[in-house]
Structure 1
Amino acid sequence: MDVCRYGVSRQAWEILFLAEAEKVAEVRRGIRSHLRLWGLSERADVAQLCASELVTNVIRHVGVGTPTTLAVSMSGTFLRIEVHDPDTRALPTLLQTDHHAESGRGMALVDAVTDRWGVHIRDDRKVTWCELATGLDTPEGHIGGARVTRAEALLALYGAVDLPREPAAGSLISLAQAEEAAIDVIADLLHWLRAHGRDPDEALDRAQTHFEAEVVYA
């Protein structure tokens, strides 16, 4: 099991809105933006689909303009999506529909792409929820595999070891080999940034700015 030295903070968040068709796009944007910050961009498409269907279900079966809440959180290592609405009578139903049906397919889609889903009835509202597996080892862990783990190890060591003034005998490699190794290091670090919800392009731009400033003033 990989150990993440630099945990990814994934604080639960929610948005309140009136259930209207034009709000669905806003919900989808919010999902994608937060999952990028959480290093879970790979789950964004499915999460957006689920949130869209749950909100659309409220619009169709509870009513346009219904006060609605979208809540996204981690449930262990699963991504949890909840839609709250005030109608405790109109319960989502999993219908068996053919592929020509124009309605009734929402929960069937949610059922097909999620690991589990359900409905909780509370005193003042119902909560329709679904959960998606993330592939994380821990709720604060990262996705990215060996490259991200290798970059973490490099970051943990970087600056902690003084470089020798003279290379050890027999330790020299060719310039071409060293260049390839440096490129691999940069690629690994870009994978690490993405896995931790950071923007690799922005980091490259900042690194280039630092590099050019240091070259100019060296």
Structure 2
Amino acid sequence: MTVLPFTVDLLAVPEAVPEMRRMLRSRFGGADVNVLDLLLCVSELLTNVIVHVGEGTPVTLRVSGTGSGRVRVGLSDPAPGVWPVIRIAARGEESGRGLLLVDAFALRWGVEQGLYGKTVWCELRAPAGLRPGQVRGRADAVSPGVSG
């Protein structure tokens, strides 16, 4: 049984992406489709920080519940001016599809501006390993912006 919220501070480096996937898979269960959505969204959000904010940026990942029984993923970084933008990658380009994937798999997503950073967030259906009563720690009750 997994109870939310789950929060971890880490550095946005390429090695952190597979490590976060392992950690989340272990925490939230094996092959549930919604766990795969969670892994994909976290991977894409973390990779965006590495590419667009900079390798080695300190970030905070928070996986929490919402009042509607969804799972909310928030990745906070200290760069309020580096705003995520969906773009359409040209044929043959190897990158540029991350936010399109988040947009496709998440029920909704957005960005919350903080005084000293921002939080890019998305909401997903709760994985099967979480019963509705376990999706607690409402992310929408407190602003998850980066403090500093």
Q: Counterpart in 2 of 1:120?
A: 112
Alignment of 1:138-177 (within 5 A): 139-140=132-133
8 A contact 2:35–2:127 mirrored in 1: no
8 A contact 1:32–1:48 mirrored in 2: yes
Aligned alpha-carbon RMSD (Å)? 2.3
Q: Counterpart in 2 of 1:32?
A: 25
1:101 aligns with 2:90: no
CA distance in 2, matches of 1:130, 1:68: 16
**Offset, 1:58:** 0.1
Identity level (%): 39
Which of the pair is proportionally richer in helix?
Answer: 1
**Offset, 1:42:** 3.6
Q: Counterpart in 1 of 2:43?
A: 52
**Residues 40 and 12 (structure 1 numbering): CA distance in 2 closer, same or farther, change over 3 Å?**
farther
CA distance in 2, matches of 1:101, 1:108: 14
The normalised TM-score by structure 2 is 0.80
Give the ranges of 4+ consecutive aligned residues of structure 1 lying more than 3 Å apart after TM superposition: 39-42
8 A contact 2:69–2:126 mirrored in 1: yes
8 A contact 1:69–1:85 mirrored in 2: yes
8 A contact 2:28–2:127 mirrored in 1: no
The normalised TM-score by structure 1 is 0.55
Aligned residues: 132
8 A contact 1:51–1:81 mirrored in 2: yes
Which of the pair is proportionally richer in strand?
Answer: 2
CA distance in 2, matches of 1:40, 1:114: 18
CA distance in 1, matches of 2:133, 2:90: 40
Q: Counterpart in 2 of 1:82?
A: 74
Q: Counterpart in 2 of 1:11?
A: 4
| Bigger Rg over Cα | 1
CA distance in 2, matches of 1:131, 1:24: 19
- 2:44 corresponds to which letter in structure 1? E
User: Larger relative CO (CA 8 A, sep 6+): 1 or 2?
Assistant: 2
Gap regions ≥5 residues in structure 1? 1-7, 143-218
CA distance in 1, matches of 2:134, 2:11: 34
- 1:111 corresponds to which letter in structure 2? D
CA distance in 2, matches of 1:25, 1:99: 26
8 A contact 2:34–2:127 mirrored in 1: no
8 A contact 1:9–1:140 mirrored in 2: no
- 1:95 corresponds to which letter in structure 2? R
Gap regions ≥5 residues in structure 2? 136-148
